[in-house]
Amino acid sequence: METMNQMEIYHKLTECLGANDTQREEPLNKHTTYKIGGVADYFVTPRDIKSLRMIISLCKEYNLPYYIIGNGSNLLVGDKGFRGVIIQIFQNMSQVKVEGERIFVEAGALLSKVASIALKNHLKNLEFASGIPGTFGGAVMMNAGAYGGEMKDVIESVRIIDEEGEIKTLSVEELKLGYRRSILMEKSYIVIDGILKLDKGEVQEISDLMEEYKERRSSKQPLEWPSAGSTFKRPEGYFAGKLVADAGLAGFQVGGAKVSEKHCGFVVNAGGATAADVVSLMEQVSNIVEEKYGVKLEPEVKFVGEF
């Protein structure tokens, strides 16, 4: 891409969003929980659906690659960054509104914030989400879950932008939510907001359950280190962390990337890790586990950009 074209694209982006919400050469390690990643050519933070649709339309017009992120909690960005536009749907689109037993949530709202609001409004069944670090949009996309609860249990409907830029409403059935999958992944739909349907409950019971989950997380997960959460998907009939531990890989390290001794299902940034370190470690762990137990570990973390 020529320099002139880059500037032209930058000016077009700022026309859509304004200079405050448009960045060039933005380091993506600032925008992921892994604290890893090179720079994005452009980094934009739309404030509403209209500006989001304008940005997507612009990207298609200029044949610019684009990728949607929330708070970057399940991403590994390549060391060479991202050639194109990173569209962050996060704090600028994070409104939450309660009406009776329903919660209207914009895609950029943190799931933990939504769970906290549910608690304040005496609404139960979202306790499992209180410690999940992702946004609502990302949680819907991958059907996030923990401690026996999943997004598919609480979603009533979701509004999305489809491949043609049109806004559609999908019911929970139409989302086809399964273990770490949804129709949103297959179709490249973008979540803009949705409705959760919860039940009335006792505040103390809801609070106690959230506190129990919090204690379980802090005692079993390496929350003190940057990570992208669970590194590998759960193989059918197994637990990824146990397979890694049984293979003797607790504390296994490549550069700054390390298998957590606290929970072997997490590969953490133990200090100065590069994306190359993480990828190398993941490949070695996966190969060793497959060699020992005949089980292939698949990444749960999503890879973005150039490695």
The catalytic site residues sit at: 180, 230, 300
Torsion region of 233: left, alpha or beta (phi above 0 gives left; psi -120 to 50 gives alpha): beta
Output the CA–CA distances (angstroms, integers) from residue 252 to 25, 229, 240, 285, 292, in the order listed.
33, 17, 15, 9, 16
Taking residue 202's Cβ as centre, other Cβ atoms within 10 Å add up to 10
Smallest CA-to-CA distance from 64 within 158, 1, 109 is with: 1
Q: Across the chain, how many H-helices and E-strands are there?
A: 8, 18
Say if CB 155 and CB 140 are below 8 A apart.
yes
Q: What does the alpha-carbon distance between residue 46 and residue 17 come to, in Å, rounded to a whole number?
A: 6
Q: Which two tokens stand for residue 72?
A: 């970057």
Smallest CA-to-CA distance from 52 within 195, 125, 182, 159 is with: 159
Q: Which two tokens stand for residue 108?
A: 């950029």
Taking residue 114's Cβ as centre, other Cβ atoms within 10 Å add up to 25
